[in-house]
Amino acid sequence: MRYLPIDNDLFIQNRKRFAERLKPSSVAVFNSNDLMPTSADGNHPFIQQTDLFYLSGIDQEESTLVICPDVKEDKHREILFLKETNEQIALWQGHKYTREEGSAVAGIKTVYWNHEFNNIFQQLVRQSDNIYLNTNEHLRANAGVETRDDRFVRWCRIVFPLHNYGRLAPIMHDLRAVKSELELDPIKKACQITDDTFRRLLGFIKPGVWEFEIEAEICHEFLRNRSKGPAFETIVASGVDSCTLHYVKNDKQCRAGDLVLIDYGAEYANYAADVTRTVPVSGKFSKRQKQVYNAVLNVQKAAIKLLVPGKTLDEYHKEVGKIMESELIRLGLLDPKLVKKQSEDDPLYKKYFPHGTSHFLGLDVHDYGDRYRPFEPGMVLTCEPGIYIRNEAIGIRIENDILITADEPVDLTESIPREAEEIEELMRSGSQTPP
């Protein structure tokens, strides 16, 4: 793997906490993601199923984790199944895990090849009353493609129709929402790579540069720092397209006087950073651009302070909305008389700030988390207010990654420049990534 080895105590502790959530006499199965085809004989780069990675650290296709805490044989309480490698596979695809390597990565003693799965699994099922299976229950999930988990659910229900079936998703959503100290290390590394990348960009952006050239600089810096690349599709939106929330064409030339909004984040060891910065293409904000920029920054600074234990995501966003409302009035974008008469369910600020303030962050860029669950220490959320004024071609979003603690929130991306004057100065001096 490109990333440096991860202490397998992370995965050992994750499995321990997971096993405590299962009913007695249960077996749980986690499958890796599929290799996704392109056309002809091509495949997209492999991306691991994040629950499997969370519990094992295994970063390879055709892998299965089985956890059966109450089975009679100790060696079968945690089992890893891997794709059997050979000289032919090594010749064409490169090195794959040996059983010893898989054991070392995951901290699991028992490792079998995949062809042994059916025999072993049937032994475990016969000793179990409950079978826990995994499905993608993320609120934004796109279920248009059948997964390895989907196929396994169908097979399992046919072969073992009389068992009780349980859902793994609620358990994993609950566990993964709170990050351990070991889990924070790769998130911080992803944030550091993202910081270095932004400083590189500040010395590169100027009138005439194409949006895709900025994207290329981002990819270059990510890859040279052991990242597989962006944690999500990069947004480089200049001019009026800075007002398009999910603009990913990145195919325009940046013009003097325009803003360019860059929403990007490095992946590191499958963990994500998610940062947005908005900078002036010419290196200096206009008076109006700076007014709007500082309004967004004021909202963000106040919003970060509100990321404390006890609040829910909905309660938090309503509080941030009130702060945004005041800034929009100061900018002359909202009429205070109309604000007093507005519908509570459809506040006027949404015309200029139409999206949520925060989302959970971790192994997935929109990570697991319950909007109704009060914030707890160990949760990591983005904080990303924005103001979008299409008729002025001004779209500004500022996004940082915040760790909730028992005391004050900790900004994991605090070192990434965000003051307007600092950005202007770094652009003027031709900022570069530290060697």
Return d(Cα 319, Cα 137) in angstroms, integer: 28
Stretch 196-206: mean pLDDT: 97
388 is catalytic: yes
Cα→Cα distances 403→53, 187, 207, 270, 375, Å: 21, 10, 36, 18, 10
- Residue 331: the pLDDT is 98
pLDDT digits 0-9 by tens, 111-149: 999 999 999 999 999 999 999 999 998 877 777 789 999
Options 255, 366, 371, 373, the catalytic residue: 366
**29 closest CA partner among 108, 115, 117, 97:** 117
Options 388, 401, 411, 418, the catalytic residue: 388
384 is catalytic: yes
Q: Does domain 9-176 have CATH number 3.40.1350.10?
A: no
pLDDT digits 0-9 by tens, 152-198: 999 999 999 999 999 999 999 999 999 999 999 999 999 999 999 99
- Quick check: pTM over 0.85? yes
399 is catalytic: yes
Neighbours of 232 (CB within 10 A): 16
Options 176, 317, 397, 418, the catalytic residue: 397
User: Where are the chain's structural domains?
Assistant: 9-176, 181-429
Options 17, 163, 255, 355, the catalytic residue: 355
274 is catalytic: yes
Residue 410, Cα to own-chain centre: how many angstroms? 18
> What is the amino acid identity at position 214?
I
Options 200, 317, 359, 418, the catalytic residue: 359
Backbone angles phi, psi at 320, to 5 degrees: -65, -35
Among 40-44, 126-130, 339-343, whose mean pLDDT is lowest? 40-44
For the chain, give the mean pLDDT: 96
Classify 181-429 by CATH class.
Answer: alpha beta
Options 217, 399, 411, 424, the catalytic residue: 399
Options 74, 87, 181, 246, the catalytic residue: 246
263 is catalytic: yes
- Residue 176: the pLDDT is 98
220 is catalytic: no
Neighbours of 420 (CB within 10 A): 19
Options 384, 401, 411, 424, the catalytic residue: 384
pLDDT digits 0-9 by tens, 268-283: 999 999 999 999 999 9
Confidence category of residue 40, pLDDT binned at 50, 70, 90: confident
